[in-house]
Amino acid sequence: MKRIIVDYKKLTKDILDLLITQYPYGFDDEDDIIEFTLASGEIVEAVKVYTDDTIYLVKIGSKLTQAIKEYEEAVFEKDDDFTNFQDDHINDDETLEDN
């Protein structure tokens, strides 16, 4: 299985989709984040994103968090399921009665 280190700048739509799907509530420092040292001596923190044949090690940091947030907002705006939502709520002026 291939392991590819990916910086937030090089995230594709597919990797972002996988990242959001595999970590819907964000990443937990203890369980999800791994730390390793590159040959250059740089210490990297990353999360693993799995496909059938590849493990992407996505570098984390504040810029990754911002990139995910912006991507989710763009997807939500594009796929806004609430445009056809029927508003069947009770007005504040109405009272509820027990039957």
Separation CA 13–CA 48 (nearest Å):
16
In tens, the pLDDT along 56-84 reads 998 886 566 667 777 777 776 665 554 44
Separation CA 92–CA 15 (nearest Å):
45
Q: What is the mean pLDDT of the chain?
A: 75
Question: Is 18 or 43 the better-scoring residue by pLDDT?
Answer: 18
Separation CA 31–CA 47 (nearest Å):
10
Give the global pTM: 0.60
In the block, which residue shows the tokens 């990297």? 44
90, pLDDT greater than 60: no
* Alpha carbon of residue 81 to chain centroid: 19
